[in-house]
Amino acid sequence: MVRVLERERTIAAARAAAARVVDPEIPALSIADLGVLRDVRLGADGMIEIDITPTYSGCPAMRLIALEVEAAVEAAGLGRPRVNLVLAPAWTTDWITPAGREALRRSGIAPPVPGGGRRALFGADETVPCPHCGSATTEKLSEFGSTACKALWRCRACGEPFDYFKCH
């Protein structure tokens, strides 16, 4: 019983440490809120195992996130974990938590509009509210932005350009 509790405590501590790691390109967003942290468990050999999943195929942040997760768990005194990159199920922006969406908005990044961005050809753009003033009178400047996950938009009400975290 004691051992079971200890295991649970270790896993919870490791999860808490890993969950504090932030996306290096969007520091307001933790990897837990981003939906990249998928599982924390204790391996048969007593080593902590952590699953993370990539956002975009070519996301250059994944390697850094894996290293930072290792460092965070080690710094919490739990030893060096095994960090696995899992592909299935594929990450989707639906996994960004409500807290994560709010963190994006506060950083001036419009959170993904569910169901948007999936048309391959033709059809209208989604409506993306401005993260600064909330106006829905916005327009797309470029499908691709400063990182793989973002597009560049502009608000016609307050005149500010902003990043839009694309629905994926």
Q: Which residues bind other proteins (CB under 8 A)?
A: 54, 56-60, 87-91, 117-122, 141-146, 148, 152, 166, 168
Instruction: Compare residues 6 and 143 and give the one whose CB is closer to other proteins.
Output: 143
DSSP 95: G
Helix axes 61-75, 2-19, angle to 10 degrees: 140
Least Å distance, CB 57 to other proteins, is: 3
Q: Which neighbouring-strand residues pair with 20?
A: none
Instruction: Compare residues 62 and 73 and give the one whose CB is closer to other proteins.
Output: 62
Least Å distance, CB 113 to other proteins, is: 15
Angle (nearest 5°) at CA 111 between 107 and 117:
140
Residue with tokens 């095994």: 82
Instruction: Compare residues 100 and 145 and give the one whose CB is closer to other proteins.
Output: 145
Least Å distance, CB 138 to other proteins, is: 16
CA distance 97 to 78: 27
Least Å distance, CB 58 to other proteins, is: 2
Instruction: Compare residues 152 and 158 and give the one whose CB is closer to other proteins.
Output: 152
Angle (nearest 5°) at CA 132 between 130 and 133:
75
Q: Collect all residues with Cβ–Cβ distance below 8 Å to 45 and sequence separation of at least 6.
A: none
Instruction: Compare residues 54 and 81 and give the one whose CB is closer to other proteins.
Output: 54
Least Å distance, CB 1 to other proteins, is: 38
